[in-house]
Protein backbone atom coordinates (compact mmCIF):
# COMPACT_ATOMS: atom_id res chain seq x y z
CA UNK A 1 0.00 0.00 0.00
CA UNK A 2 1.20 3.47 -0.79
CA UNK A 3 -0.08 6.51 1.09
CA UNK A 4 -2.22 4.50 3.50
CA UNK A 5 -5.43 6.03 4.74
CA UNK A 6 -5.98 6.44 8.47
CA UNK A 7 -8.27 3.37 8.39
CA UNK A 8 -5.65 1.26 6.61
CA UNK A 9 -3.02 2.32 9.12
CA UNK A 10 -5.36 1.46 12.00
CA UNK A 11 -6.28 -1.90 10.44
CA UNK A 12 -2.60 -2.86 10.25
CA UNK A 13 -2.14 -1.89 13.91
CA UNK A 14 -5.25 -3.89 14.82
CA UNK A 15 -3.79 -6.93 13.03
CA UNK A 16 -0.64 -6.95 15.19
CA UNK A 17 -2.14 -9.02 18.05
CA UNK A 18 -3.42 -11.68 15.64
CA UNK A 19 -0.03 -11.73 13.93
CA UNK A 20 1.63 -12.17 17.34
CA UNK A 21 -0.79 -15.02 18.16
CA UNK A 22 0.09 -16.80 14.93
CA UNK A 23 3.81 -16.33 15.53
CA UNK A 24 3.44 -17.71 19.05
CA UNK A 25 1.38 -20.70 17.90
CA UNK A 26 4.02 -21.50 15.28
CA UNK A 27 6.87 -21.09 17.76
CA UNK A 28 8.28 -18.14 15.85
CA UNK A 29 7.74 -15.27 18.29
CA UNK A 30 11.34 -15.41 19.50
CA UNK A 31 12.56 -14.45 16.01
CA UNK A 32 10.28 -11.41 15.86
CA UNK A 33 10.33 -10.30 19.50
CA UNK A 34 12.89 -7.50 19.02
CA UNK A 35 11.53 -6.26 15.70
CA UNK A 36 10.10 -2.77 15.51
CA UNK A 37 6.42 -2.06 15.01
CA UNK A 38 7.35 -0.72 11.55
CA UNK A 39 8.95 -4.08 10.65
CA UNK A 40 5.88 -5.99 11.83
CA UNK A 41 3.57 -3.60 9.99
CA UNK A 42 5.63 -4.14 6.82
CA UNK A 43 5.09 -7.90 7.04
CA UNK A 44 1.36 -7.50 7.66
CA UNK A 45 1.08 -5.01 4.80
CA UNK A 46 2.93 -7.37 2.42
CA UNK A 47 0.58 -10.24 3.27
CA UNK A 48 -2.55 -8.11 2.93
CA UNK A 49 -1.39 -6.55 -0.33
CA UNK A 50 -0.56 -9.94 -1.82
CA UNK A 51 -3.92 -11.34 -0.74
CA UNK A 52 -5.92 -8.42 -2.12
CA UNK A 53 -3.96 -8.34 -5.39
CA UNK A 54 -4.60 -12.06 -5.89
CA UNK A 55 -8.32 -11.73 -5.17
CA UNK A 56 -8.57 -8.87 -7.68
CA UNK A 57 -6.75 -10.89 -10.36
CA UNK A 58 -9.02 -13.87 -9.73
CA UNK A 59 -12.21 -11.81 -9.92
CA UNK A 60 -12.60 -12.24 -13.66
CA UNK A 61 -11.36 -15.84 -13.85
CA UNK A 62 -13.73 -18.78 -13.83
CA UNK A 63 -13.23 -21.18 -10.94
CA UNK A 64 -12.75 -24.94 -11.42
CA UNK A 65 -16.51 -25.44 -11.73
CA UNK A 66 -16.64 -22.97 -14.63
CA UNK A 67 -18.45 -20.32 -12.62
CA UNK A 68 -16.99 -16.82 -12.99
CA UNK A 69 -16.42 -14.88 -9.80
CA UNK A 70 -17.93 -11.78 -11.37
CA UNK A 71 -21.43 -13.16 -11.92
CA UNK A 72 -24.26 -10.64 -11.39
CA UNK A 73 -25.96 -10.23 -8.05
CA UNK A 74 -29.23 -12.20 -8.19
CA UNK A 75 -31.47 -9.48 -6.77
Q: Is 12 exposed, middle or buried (0-12, 13-18, 19+ CB in 10 A)?
A: buried
Of residues 39 and 71, more confidence is placed in 39
Whether this model's pTM surpasses 0.95: no
Supply the pLDDT for residue 60: 72
- Residue 27 region, left (φ>0) first, then alpha (ψ -120 to 50), else beta? left
What digits encode the pLDDT tens for the residues 4-63? 899 999 999 999 999 999 999 999 999 999 999 999 999 999 999 999 888 888 877 766
Handedness of CA 61, 75, 51, 20 (dihedral sign): negative
Amino acid sequence: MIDKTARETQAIKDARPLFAEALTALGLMEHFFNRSAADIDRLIEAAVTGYVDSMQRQAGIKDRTGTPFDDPIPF
